[in-house]
Structure 1
Amino acid sequence: MKLRTLLAVFGVALALTGFTLVAAPGLASTITLDEAVLVFVGLLGVLQGVRVAIARSRTAYEQVETPDPEASQDLPTPGDEFDEMLATAGADRREREMRESVRNRLERAAVATIVRTEGCTEAEAKRRLESGEWTDDPYARAFFTGSVEGASLFDRIDLRRDNQSRYHRWAVHAASEITRRSEGFDA
Protein backbone atom coordinates (compact mmCIF):
# COMPACT_ATOMS: atom_id res chain seq x y z
CA MET A 1 0.00 0.00 0.00
CA LYS A 2 1.08 3.50 -0.68
CA LEU A 3 1.14 6.22 1.93
CA ARG A 4 -1.81 7.99 0.31
CA THR A 5 -3.94 4.85 0.49
CA LEU A 6 -3.09 4.36 4.17
CA LEU A 7 -3.90 7.95 4.98
CA ALA A 8 -7.18 7.67 3.10
CA VAL A 9 -8.14 4.50 5.01
CA PHE A 10 -7.15 6.16 8.29
CA GLY A 11 -9.15 9.28 7.45
CA VAL A 12 -12.23 7.25 6.57
CA ALA A 13 -11.90 5.30 9.85
CA LEU A 14 -11.63 8.54 11.85
CA ALA A 15 -14.60 10.04 10.03
CA LEU A 16 -16.73 6.95 10.69
CA THR A 17 -15.73 7.03 14.36
CA GLY A 18 -16.65 10.70 14.58
CA PHE A 19 -20.03 10.21 12.92
CA THR A 20 -20.73 7.27 15.23
CA LEU A 21 -19.95 9.32 18.33
CA VAL A 22 -22.11 12.23 17.09
CA ALA A 23 -25.00 9.89 16.27
CA ALA A 24 -24.81 8.09 19.60
CA PRO A 25 -23.59 10.57 22.26
CA GLY A 26 -24.06 8.01 25.03
CA LEU A 27 -21.38 5.87 23.42
CA ALA A 28 -18.90 8.72 23.66
CA SER A 29 -19.48 9.09 27.38
CA THR A 30 -18.59 5.43 28.04
CA ILE A 31 -15.14 5.71 26.47
CA THR A 32 -12.48 7.49 28.56
CA LEU A 33 -9.67 9.52 27.04
CA ASP A 34 -7.12 6.86 28.07
CA GLU A 35 -9.08 4.14 26.28
CA ALA A 36 -9.51 6.32 23.20
CA VAL A 37 -5.74 6.97 22.98
CA LEU A 38 -5.05 3.27 23.48
CA VAL A 39 -7.47 2.30 20.71
CA PHE A 40 -5.98 4.97 18.45
CA VAL A 41 -2.40 3.74 19.00
CA GLY A 42 -3.54 0.15 18.50
CA LEU A 43 -5.15 1.00 15.19
CA LEU A 44 -1.99 2.80 14.08
CA GLY A 45 0.02 -0.29 14.97
CA VAL A 46 -2.28 -2.58 13.02
CA LEU A 47 -2.18 -0.27 10.00
CA GLN A 48 1.62 -0.09 10.14
CA GLY A 49 1.82 -3.88 10.36
CA VAL A 50 -0.45 -4.27 7.34
CA ARG A 51 1.61 -1.75 5.40
CA VAL A 52 4.90 -3.54 6.16
CA ALA A 53 3.40 -6.95 5.34
CA ILE A 54 2.15 -5.71 1.98
CA ALA A 55 5.48 -4.06 1.18
CA ARG A 56 7.39 -7.25 2.09
CA SER A 57 5.13 -9.38 -0.07
CA ARG A 58 5.95 -7.22 -3.07
CA THR A 59 9.70 -7.36 -2.52
CA ALA A 60 11.61 -9.73 -4.76
CA TYR A 61 13.22 -12.66 -2.96
CA GLU A 62 17.01 -12.56 -3.12
CA GLN A 63 19.27 -15.33 -1.97
CA VAL A 64 22.90 -14.66 -1.23
CA GLU A 65 25.35 -17.24 -2.44
CA THR A 66 28.16 -18.10 -0.11
CA PRO A 67 31.62 -18.34 -1.64
CA ASP A 68 33.35 -21.67 -1.93
CA PRO A 69 35.51 -22.50 1.06
CA GLU A 70 39.24 -22.18 0.62
CA ALA A 71 40.99 -25.19 -0.78
CA SER A 72 43.24 -26.80 1.78
CA GLN A 73 46.94 -26.38 1.31
CA ASP A 74 49.50 -29.08 1.64
CA LEU A 75 51.96 -27.72 4.17
CA PRO A 76 55.29 -29.32 4.93
CA THR A 77 55.59 -31.38 8.05
CA PRO A 78 58.07 -30.02 10.56
CA GLY A 79 61.31 -31.92 10.12
CA ASP A 80 60.86 -32.76 6.43
CA GLU A 81 63.77 -30.50 5.50
CA PHE A 82 66.02 -32.24 8.01
CA ASP A 83 64.92 -35.67 6.78
CA GLU A 84 65.80 -34.67 3.22
CA MET A 85 69.21 -33.39 4.34
CA LEU A 86 69.83 -36.63 6.23
CA ALA A 87 68.77 -38.78 3.28
CA THR A 88 71.08 -36.83 0.97
CA ALA A 89 73.96 -36.96 3.42
CA GLY A 90 73.61 -40.66 3.99
CA ALA A 91 73.12 -41.68 0.38
CA ASP A 92 76.40 -40.40 -1.03
CA ARG A 93 79.71 -40.42 0.83
CA ARG A 94 80.93 -37.47 -1.22
CA GLU A 95 78.29 -35.25 0.37
CA ARG A 96 80.61 -34.12 3.19
CA GLU A 97 79.09 -30.65 3.34
CA MET A 98 75.59 -32.04 3.89
CA ARG A 99 76.86 -34.43 6.56
CA GLU A 100 78.57 -31.57 8.34
CA SER A 101 75.35 -29.53 8.20
CA VAL A 102 73.35 -32.42 9.70
CA ARG A 103 75.98 -32.92 12.40
CA ASN A 104 76.01 -29.20 13.28
CA ARG A 105 72.22 -29.05 13.54
CA LEU A 106 72.06 -32.14 15.71
CA GLU A 107 74.92 -30.89 17.88
CA ARG A 108 73.25 -27.51 18.43
CA ALA A 109 69.95 -29.20 19.28
CA ALA A 110 71.64 -31.68 21.63
CA VAL A 111 73.60 -28.97 23.45
CA ALA A 112 70.48 -26.82 23.84
CA THR A 113 68.51 -29.81 25.13
CA ILE A 114 71.20 -30.81 27.62
CA VAL A 115 71.51 -27.24 28.91
CA ARG A 116 67.74 -26.97 29.33
CA THR A 117 67.06 -30.40 30.80
CA GLU A 118 70.10 -30.74 33.05
CA GLY A 119 70.61 -27.10 33.97
CA CYS A 120 74.30 -26.99 33.10
CA THR A 121 76.39 -24.51 31.13
CA GLU A 122 76.86 -24.75 27.38
CA ALA A 123 80.51 -25.73 27.83
CA GLU A 124 79.54 -28.54 30.21
CA ALA A 125 76.83 -29.68 27.79
CA LYS A 126 79.38 -29.85 24.95
CA ARG A 127 81.75 -31.83 27.17
CA ARG A 128 78.99 -34.33 28.05
CA LEU A 129 78.08 -34.64 24.37
CA GLU A 130 81.69 -35.31 23.29
CA SER A 131 82.29 -37.80 26.10
CA GLY A 132 78.99 -39.61 25.51
CA GLU A 133 77.66 -39.02 29.04
CA TRP A 134 74.48 -37.41 27.76
CA THR A 135 72.60 -40.62 26.80
CA ASP A 136 72.38 -44.36 27.35
CA ASP A 137 71.71 -45.04 23.65
CA PRO A 138 75.04 -46.31 22.27
CA TYR A 139 74.19 -45.35 18.68
CA ALA A 140 73.09 -41.80 19.56
CA ARG A 141 76.30 -41.48 21.57
CA ALA A 142 78.31 -42.89 18.65
CA PHE A 143 77.07 -40.15 16.32
CA PHE A 144 79.04 -37.58 18.32
CA THR A 145 81.91 -39.76 19.64
CA GLY A 146 82.54 -41.79 16.48
CA SER A 147 82.50 -45.26 18.08
CA VAL A 148 79.87 -47.62 19.41
CA GLU A 149 80.46 -48.62 23.01
CA GLY A 150 78.07 -50.55 25.19
CA ALA A 151 76.09 -52.24 22.40
CA SER A 152 75.88 -56.01 22.38
CA LEU A 153 76.93 -58.07 19.40
CA PHE A 154 73.27 -58.97 18.82
CA ASP A 155 72.33 -55.23 18.71
CA ARG A 156 75.10 -54.52 16.23
CA ILE A 157 74.04 -57.38 13.95
CA ASP A 158 70.35 -56.39 14.20
CA LEU A 159 71.25 -52.78 13.40
CA ARG A 160 72.93 -53.87 10.16
CA ARG A 161 69.77 -55.50 8.74
CA ASP A 162 68.43 -52.34 7.09
CA ASN A 163 70.00 -50.78 4.01
CA GLN A 164 70.89 -47.46 5.64
CA SER A 165 74.46 -46.32 6.14
CA ARG A 166 76.00 -46.32 9.59
CA TYR A 167 76.06 -42.52 9.54
CA HIS A 168 72.33 -42.39 8.77
CA ARG A 169 71.41 -44.90 11.50
CA TRP A 170 73.50 -43.09 14.11
CA ALA A 171 72.03 -39.71 13.10
CA VAL A 172 68.48 -41.08 13.39
CA HIS A 173 69.28 -42.46 16.85
CA ALA A 174 70.80 -39.12 17.90
CA ALA A 175 67.80 -37.13 16.62
CA SER A 176 65.37 -39.54 18.32
CA GLU A 177 67.25 -39.31 21.61
CA ILE A 178 67.34 -35.49 21.46
CA THR A 179 63.59 -35.44 20.79
CA ARG A 180 62.87 -37.94 23.56
CA ARG A 181 64.89 -35.99 26.12
CA SER A 182 63.37 -32.69 25.04
CA GLU A 183 59.78 -33.95 25.15
CA GLY A 184 60.32 -35.78 28.42
CA PHE A 185 61.47 -32.62 30.18
CA ASP A 186 58.77 -30.78 32.18
CA ALA A 187 59.81 -27.17 32.60
Structure 2
Amino acid sequence: MKFVRYALGLVGSAVALLAFASVLGTPIPLPVDAAVSAVGNDYQFVVAFGIAAGVVVLGVLGQRTVEGVSQSTPPAPERVTSGPAPGAEYDQYAESGLSIRERLFGDGGEEVRAELRETAVKTTMRTEDCDRETAIERVESGSWTDDETAAAFVGGSVSTGVGARIGGALRGESGFQRGIRRTADAIDRKAEEVRR
Protein backbone atom coordinates (compact mmCIF):
# COMPACT_ATOMS: atom_id res chain seq x y z
CA MET A 1 0.00 0.00 0.00
CA LYS A 2 2.92 2.33 0.69
CA PHE A 3 4.19 1.75 -2.84
CA VAL A 4 0.89 2.93 -4.33
CA ARG A 5 0.90 5.95 -2.04
CA TYR A 6 4.47 6.89 -3.00
CA ALA A 7 3.78 6.30 -6.71
CA LEU A 8 0.69 8.52 -6.65
CA GLY A 9 2.62 11.17 -4.76
CA LEU A 10 5.40 11.08 -7.32
CA VAL A 11 2.98 11.33 -10.25
CA GLY A 12 1.09 14.16 -8.56
CA SER A 13 4.33 16.06 -7.90
CA ALA A 14 5.41 15.66 -11.53
CA VAL A 15 2.05 16.91 -12.80
CA ALA A 16 2.17 19.88 -10.42
CA LEU A 17 5.69 20.79 -11.62
CA LEU A 18 4.58 20.58 -15.25
CA ALA A 19 1.56 22.77 -14.55
CA PHE A 20 3.73 25.31 -12.74
CA ALA A 21 6.22 25.34 -15.63
CA SER A 22 3.44 25.85 -18.17
CA VAL A 23 2.06 28.80 -16.20
CA LEU A 24 5.50 30.43 -16.30
CA GLY A 25 5.52 30.07 -20.09
CA THR A 26 8.09 27.32 -20.37
CA PRO A 27 7.49 25.24 -23.50
CA ILE A 28 6.61 21.66 -22.52
CA PRO A 29 6.89 18.98 -25.21
CA LEU A 30 3.61 17.16 -24.41
CA PRO A 31 1.17 15.85 -27.04
CA VAL A 32 -1.65 18.05 -25.75
CA ASP A 33 -3.08 18.81 -29.20
CA ALA A 34 -3.20 15.11 -30.11
CA ALA A 35 -4.91 14.27 -26.79
CA VAL A 36 -7.53 17.03 -27.26
CA SER A 37 -8.32 15.90 -30.80
CA ALA A 38 -8.60 12.26 -29.64
CA VAL A 39 -11.15 13.20 -26.98
CA GLY A 40 -13.12 15.52 -29.25
CA ASN A 41 -12.73 19.01 -27.82
CA ASP A 42 -10.96 20.73 -24.90
CA TYR A 43 -14.01 20.69 -22.59
CA GLN A 44 -14.25 16.93 -22.80
CA PHE A 45 -10.54 16.77 -22.04
CA VAL A 46 -11.20 18.63 -18.75
CA VAL A 47 -14.11 16.26 -18.01
CA ALA A 48 -11.70 13.31 -18.37
CA PHE A 49 -9.42 14.87 -15.74
CA GLY A 50 -12.43 15.50 -13.47
CA ILE A 51 -13.54 11.88 -13.75
CA ALA A 52 -10.00 10.68 -12.96
CA ALA A 53 -9.86 12.99 -9.92
CA GLY A 54 -13.27 11.73 -8.76
CA VAL A 55 -12.12 8.11 -9.06
CA VAL A 56 -9.01 8.90 -6.96
CA VAL A 57 -11.07 10.67 -4.28
CA LEU A 58 -13.58 7.82 -4.10
CA GLY A 59 -10.73 5.29 -3.90
CA VAL A 60 -9.10 7.13 -0.99
CA LEU A 61 -12.42 7.47 0.84
CA GLY A 62 -13.13 3.76 0.30
CA GLN A 63 -9.70 2.80 1.58
CA ARG A 64 -10.10 4.90 4.73
CA THR A 65 -13.56 3.48 5.32
CA VAL A 66 -12.26 -0.09 5.14
CA GLU A 67 -8.97 0.40 7.02
CA GLY A 68 -10.00 3.16 9.37
CA VAL A 69 -8.21 6.41 10.02
CA SER A 70 -5.83 6.31 12.94
CA GLN A 71 -4.58 9.87 12.48
CA SER A 72 -7.92 11.34 13.47
CA THR A 73 -7.99 9.55 16.82
CA PRO A 74 -6.59 11.94 19.43
CA PRO A 75 -3.88 10.55 21.70
CA ALA A 76 -4.70 9.64 25.26
CA PRO A 77 -4.33 12.68 27.52
CA GLU A 78 -1.31 12.78 29.76
CA ARG A 79 -1.86 12.12 33.42
CA VAL A 80 -0.21 14.11 36.15
CA THR A 81 2.17 11.84 37.94
CA SER A 82 1.64 11.79 41.64
CA GLY A 83 4.60 12.30 43.86
CA PRO A 84 5.09 12.46 47.57
CA ALA A 85 4.18 15.70 49.26
CA PRO A 86 7.05 17.78 50.60
CA GLY A 87 7.96 16.58 54.07
CA ALA A 88 6.16 13.24 53.66
CA GLU A 89 9.35 11.37 54.54
CA TYR A 90 9.69 13.31 57.79
CA ASP A 91 6.05 12.69 58.63
CA GLN A 92 6.47 8.98 58.00
CA TYR A 93 9.52 8.77 60.27
CA ALA A 94 7.87 10.93 62.93
CA GLU A 95 4.76 8.74 62.97
CA SER A 96 6.21 5.26 62.64
CA GLY A 97 9.89 5.69 63.42
CA LEU A 98 12.60 3.53 61.90
CA SER A 99 11.87 -0.08 61.09
CA ILE A 100 14.26 -2.78 62.25
CA ARG A 101 15.57 -3.15 58.71
CA GLU A 102 16.26 0.59 58.45
CA ARG A 103 17.97 0.60 61.82
CA LEU A 104 20.26 -2.26 60.89
CA PHE A 105 20.88 -1.76 57.18
CA GLY A 106 19.52 1.62 56.10
CA ASP A 107 20.84 5.11 56.30
CA GLY A 108 17.46 6.88 56.00
CA GLY A 109 17.62 7.91 59.63
CA GLU A 110 21.03 9.51 59.20
CA GLU A 111 19.86 11.28 56.04
CA VAL A 112 16.90 12.77 57.91
CA ARG A 113 19.14 13.76 60.80
CA ALA A 114 21.66 15.38 58.41
CA GLU A 115 18.91 17.29 56.58
CA LEU A 116 17.46 18.57 59.84
CA ARG A 117 20.97 19.52 61.01
CA GLU A 118 21.50 21.49 57.79
CA THR A 119 18.11 23.20 58.19
CA ALA A 120 18.98 24.09 61.78
CA VAL A 121 22.31 25.57 60.60
CA LYS A 122 20.64 27.65 57.87
CA THR A 123 17.92 28.82 60.26
CA THR A 124 20.54 29.81 62.84
CA MET A 125 22.51 31.71 60.20
CA ARG A 126 19.38 33.61 59.16
CA THR A 127 17.99 34.34 62.63
CA GLU A 128 21.25 35.17 64.39
CA ASP A 129 22.92 36.83 61.40
CA CYS A 130 26.11 34.80 61.69
CA ASP A 131 28.39 33.00 59.29
CA ARG A 132 28.15 29.27 58.51
CA GLU A 133 31.00 28.17 60.78
CA THR A 134 29.50 29.94 63.78
CA ALA A 135 26.08 28.45 63.07
CA ILE A 136 27.59 24.95 62.79
CA GLU A 137 29.34 25.41 66.14
CA ARG A 138 26.09 26.55 67.77
CA VAL A 139 24.15 23.59 66.37
CA GLU A 140 26.84 21.10 67.41
CA SER A 141 27.09 22.57 70.90
CA GLY A 142 23.30 22.76 71.27
CA SER A 143 23.22 26.49 72.00
CA TRP A 144 21.00 27.20 68.98
CA THR A 145 17.86 26.13 70.91
CA ASP A 146 16.56 25.74 74.45
CA ASP A 147 15.10 22.30 73.61
CA GLU A 148 17.65 19.76 74.78
CA THR A 149 16.05 16.92 72.79
CA ALA A 150 16.32 18.89 69.54
CA ALA A 151 19.85 19.99 70.42
CA ALA A 152 20.87 16.38 71.08
CA PHE A 153 19.21 15.08 67.93
CA VAL A 154 21.18 17.30 65.53
CA GLY A 155 24.16 18.24 67.70
CA GLY A 156 27.22 16.09 68.09
CA SER A 157 28.19 16.80 71.67
CA VAL A 158 24.84 17.06 73.46
CA SER A 159 23.06 14.11 75.01
CA THR A 160 19.38 13.73 75.89
CA GLY A 161 18.51 13.54 79.54
CA VAL A 162 17.22 10.35 81.12
CA GLY A 163 13.89 12.00 82.06
CA ALA A 164 13.20 12.91 78.40
CA ARG A 165 13.96 9.35 77.30
CA ILE A 166 11.66 7.81 79.92
CA GLY A 167 8.88 10.31 79.12
CA GLY A 168 9.13 9.47 75.41
CA ALA A 169 9.06 5.74 76.09
CA LEU A 170 5.93 6.15 78.23
CA ARG A 171 4.23 8.02 75.38
CA GLY A 172 5.18 5.22 72.95
CA GLU A 173 7.72 7.27 71.03
CA SER A 174 11.17 6.12 70.06
CA GLY A 175 14.05 8.50 70.59
CA PHE A 176 14.25 8.99 66.84
CA GLN A 177 10.57 9.94 66.54
CA ARG A 178 10.83 12.33 69.46
CA GLY A 179 14.01 13.83 67.99
CA ILE A 180 12.43 14.51 64.61
CA ARG A 181 9.30 16.05 66.09
CA ARG A 182 11.10 18.22 68.64
CA THR A 183 13.79 19.33 66.17
CA ALA A 184 11.19 20.36 63.59
CA ASP A 185 9.34 22.32 66.30
CA ALA A 186 12.56 23.99 67.47
CA ILE A 187 13.49 24.98 63.90
CA ASP A 188 9.98 26.37 63.37
CA ARG A 189 10.15 28.39 66.60
CA LYS A 190 13.57 29.74 65.63
CA ALA A 191 12.31 30.69 62.17
CA GLU A 192 9.40 32.55 63.82
CA GLU A 193 11.96 34.92 65.33
CA VAL A 194 12.69 36.25 61.84
CA ARG A 195 9.03 36.48 60.86
CA ARG A 196 8.17 38.76 63.75
**Normalization by structure 1: what TM-score?**
0.51
Q: Is the 8 A contact 1:88 1:95 kept in 2?
A: no
Aligned to 1:167: 176
Rounded Cα–Cα distance in structure 2 between residues aligned with 1:179 and 1:137: 12
Compared with structure 1, are the counterparts of its residues 162 and 91 closer, same or farther at alpha carbon in structure 2 (3 Å cutoff)?
farther
Query: How many residues are matched?
Result: 113
Identity rate of aligned residues, in percent? 34
- Is 1:179 matched up with 2:162? no
Q: Answer yes or no: is the 8 Å Cα contact 2:114–2:154 preserved in 1.
A: no
Stretches of structure 1 that go unaligned for 5 or more consecutive residues are 1-73
CA change 1:85–1:152 in 2 (3 A) is closer
Answer whether contact 2:94 2:178 (CA < 8 A) is retained.
Answer: no
- Corresponding residue number in structure 2 for 1:107: 117
Moved over 6 A (4+): none
Q: CA deviation at 1:125?
A: 0.4
* Structure 1 residues 88-107: aligned runs within 5 Å: 90-92=98-100, 93-107=103-117
**Partner SS state of residue 170, structure 2:** coil
Say which of 156, 159, 165 aligns to 1:148. Answer: 159
- Paired residue secondary structure (2:125): helix
Q: Tell me, yes or no, if the aligned pair for 1:88 and 1:98 is still in contact at 8 Å.
A: no
Which residue pairs with 2:11 in the alignment?
A: none
Bigger Rg over Cα? 1
Q: CA contact under 8 A between 1:130 and 1:145: conserved in structure 2?
A: yes
- Cα 1:172–1:89 shift into 2, 3 Å: same
- The answer for unaligned runs of 5 or more in structure 2 is 1-81
Q: Determine the structure 1 residue equivalent to 2:32.
A: none
Residue 128, structure 1, aligned to residue 145, structure 2: no
Query: Quick one: which amino acid aligns to residue 143 of structure 1?
Result: F
Partner of 2:65: none
2:90 to 82, 92, 117: 82
| Residue aligned with 1:136, SS | coil
AA of the residue aligned to 2:117: E
